[in-house]
Amino acid sequence: MRDTRYEMRESCGLFGILGDVEAVQTTYFGLHSLQHRGQESAGIASSNGEFIQCYTGTGMVSRVFRSGSGILTKLANPIAIGHVRYSTTGSSRPINNQPLLSEYSRGQVAVAHNGNLINASLLRDEYEAYGSIFKSTTDTEVITHLLAKPTHASNPDHLAHVLNHLQGAYCLLFLFADRIEAARDPYGIHPLCIGQTEKGAYVIASESCAFDAIEAKFIREVEPGEIIRLDKDGLQSRFFVKPGTITPAHCIFEHIYFGKQNSFFFGENVHEFRKKLGRQLAIEQPADADLVIPIPDSGTSAAIGYAEQSKLPFDMGLVRSHYIGRTFISPNQKLRELEVKLKLAVVKEAVAGKRIVVVDDSIVRGTTTRGKIRALRQARAKQIHMRVSCPPLRYPCFYGVDFPTKEELLANNRNPEQIKEFLEVDSVGYQSLEGLLSCASEAAENYCTACWNGKYRIPVDIPVNKFALERYQMHMFDDWLEENG
């Protein structure tokens, strides 16, 4: 069954390590620290230098590799890659779990992908026209077909050759029997980082928080258009696109919302960036109030910055339950409101009788935010002033972040007064795009801002959604398995 509610979700998290006898166990811990990037499925592929084996499952890392199952022991090998998934192309079905293991003329390969290929549908049409059979509905499988095409497979650097056929956002980990190759798209849309463990093993991860979890040190980010090869000789770098020929388009939403607070990428720490956003927001959108509270967790750092700048006290008026996994699909408004309450509880004593500033990182459809505002009203907050640390979202994302349609976005075709009425707040204030970019460490032109201004740096000829490759009513048994397995 498709989840028709939309909160913004990241596509995936990647982790890879080579040269450690405990590579698989380390990958397990790395994936845990990247769990915020995807909770639909998890998987690990490992190699002993000759053969690759792979295990994937639906759900969170701790469920897939549950203690006592012995799966990690069976996978134990010195080279490993892992993946946590939230689907942005291809539905949430076991057949789409990653890493995706295949065999072709050059041997086995397991692929883990974060991002969205905007030309996947065209490429798939092309391959199907020549008789190729696809077993999943993900854009990632197209990459394995490109690798296997005889004219590509015979190329001396067939991986670099294939990457030049891809359009869109991608961070990729390839596990070949004897090595890992990591690649980042030429625009560097999503983050990919390199680290090293105390024992000297190289690690690659979507975010540096994975290095903190395994006590590895951050070395640097994989550059846009770069391939990093890890093998028995260590780390080698090469580029499939000449450096400096393409201006980067980092997804600034990674810093605003997705990244974990202790991560460092795009040249700075996530928490510090969000605090800067909060300070800038307080300058642009001050409020006459008694207290600043965040929508936890992603609004917390910005709320701290807002409180610092405005010299207002900071408090936790809402507390998040961290023990709720994926909840049911609420069939009516009343149950949806109860679900919001289950996830976020109001601390009545903190907000009753106060004029509060509520700081969040973003507002998507607005229904979830309104549920939280109503809960604060019920707790007798005197005034509620909504402040948002990014500008109004008006356009969908085609680069690997799951957005609702343009029409469903709250700020689409609504002026500030209408947004205020919809949210049932006393005032609403968004950060300006200029203010947002002034907080970033790199030059403004190095960031993607398409979801605010509709300027897509990689042109999207055919708008795609996550079900673009779901062409037939197949895999019915997968659906049953997911719900009952």
What positions carry a catalytic annotation? 12
Asked if residue 292 binds ligand SF4 (CB under 6 A), the reply is no
Selected from 14, 287, 293, 401, the binder of ligand SF4 by CB under 6 A is: 401
CA distance 209 to 248: 23
Selected from 18, 397, 437, 468, the binder of ligand SF4 by CB under 6 A is: 397
Judge whether 361 and 299 are in contact, CB under 8 Å: yes
Selected from 166, 214, 251, 379, the binder of ligand SF4 by CB under 6 A is: 251
Selected from 252, 282, 425, 468, the binder of ligand SF4 by CB under 6 A is: 252
Residue whose CB is less far from ligand SF4, 248 or 371? 248
Region near ligand SF4 per CB under 6 A, out of 53-61, 101-109, 393-401, 435-443: 393-401
What minimum distance in Å lies between the beta carbon of 251 and ligand SF4?
3
C-alpha closest to that of 411 among 446, 386, 436: 386
Residue whose CB is less far from ligand SF4, 107 or 267? 267
Selected from 24, 448, 458, 469, the binder of ligand SF4 by CB under 6 A is: 448
Selected from 218, 253, 273, 314, the binder of ligand SF4 by CB under 6 A is: 253
CA distance 144 to 148: 6
Residue whose CB is less far from ligand SF4, 202 or 253? 253
Q: Which of residues 172-211 bind ligand SF4 (CB under 6 A)?
A: 189
Residue whose CB is less far from ligand SF4, 65 or 258? 258
What minimum distance in Å lies between the beta carbon of 213 and ligand SF4?
25
Tokens of 214: 């395994």
Buried b (16+ CB within 10 A) or exposed e, 313-322: ebbebbeeee
Selected from 451, 458, 464, 468, the binder of ligand SF4 by CB under 6 A is: 451
Judge whether 58 and 92 are in contact, CB under 8 Å: yes
What minimum distance in Å lies between the beta carbon of 116 and ligand SF4?
9
DSSP 263: -
C-alpha closest to that of 274 among 302, 295, 249: 302
Residue whose CB is less far from ligand SF4, 335 or 444? 444
DSSP 440: S
What minimum distance in Å lies between the beta carbon of 397 and ligand SF4?
3
CA distance 265 to 220: 9
Selected from 450, 458, 464, 469, the binder of ligand SF4 by CB under 6 A is: 450
End-to-end Cα distance, the chain: 14
Largest CA distance in the chain: 72
What minimum distance in Å lies between the beta carbon of 205 and ligand SF4?
19
How are strands ordered across the β-sheet holding 202-205? 52-58, 41-47, 79-85, 12-18, 202-205, 193-196, 217-221
Which residue do the tokens 């009516």 mark? 332
Selected from 174, 176, 399, 422, the binder of ligand SF4 by CB under 6 A is: 399
Q: Helices 140-148 and 120-129: crossing angle, nearest 10°?
A: 50
What minimum distance in Å lies between the beta carbon of 31 and ligand SF4?
23
Tokens of 400: 């690997």
Residue whose CB is less far from ligand SF4, 164 or 453? 453
Count of residues of this chain found to bind ligand SF4 when the rule CB under 6 A is applied:
11
Name the pairing type of β-strands 107-117 and 100-104.
antiparallel
C-alpha closest to that of 292 among 387, 368, 380, 373: 387
- Cα 39 to the chain's mean position, in Å? 10
Q: How many CB atoms lie within 10 A of CB 324?
A: 10
What minimum distance in Å lies between the beta carbon of 190 and ligand SF4?
8
What minimum distance in Å lies between the beta carbon of 449 and ligand SF4?
6
Judge whether 219 and 195 are in contact, CB under 8 Å: yes
Asked if residue 112 binds ligand SF4 (CB under 6 A), the reply is no
CA distance 439 to 258: 17
What minimum distance in Å lies between the beta carbon of 398 and ligand SF4?
7
Region near ligand SF4 per CB under 6 A, out of 180-188, 200-208, 276-284, 395-403: 395-403
Region near ligand SF4 per CB under 6 A, out of 120-128, 228-236, 332-340, 442-450: 442-450
3-state secondary structure of 482: helix
Residue whose CB is less far from ligand SF4, 248 or 294? 248
Residue whose CB is less far from ligand SF4, 18 or 118? 118
Which residues of 299-410 form beta strands (DSSP E)? 318-320, 344-346, 355-360, 383-388, 401-402
3-state secondary structure of 99: coil
Region near ligand SF4 per CB under 6 A, out of 23-31, 139-147, 348-356, 447-455: 447-455
Residue whose CB is less far from ligand SF4, 65 or 399? 399
3-state secondary structure of 250: strand
Phi, psi of 203 (to 5 degrees): -130, 150
Region near ligand SF4 per CB under 6 A, out of 225-233, 430-438, 445-453, 472-480: 445-453
Name the pairing type of β-strands 383-388 and 427-430.
parallel
Torsion 112-145-1-362 (CA) sign = positive
Q: Which residues bind ligand SF4 (CB under 6 A)?
A: 189, 251-253, 397, 399, 401, 448-451
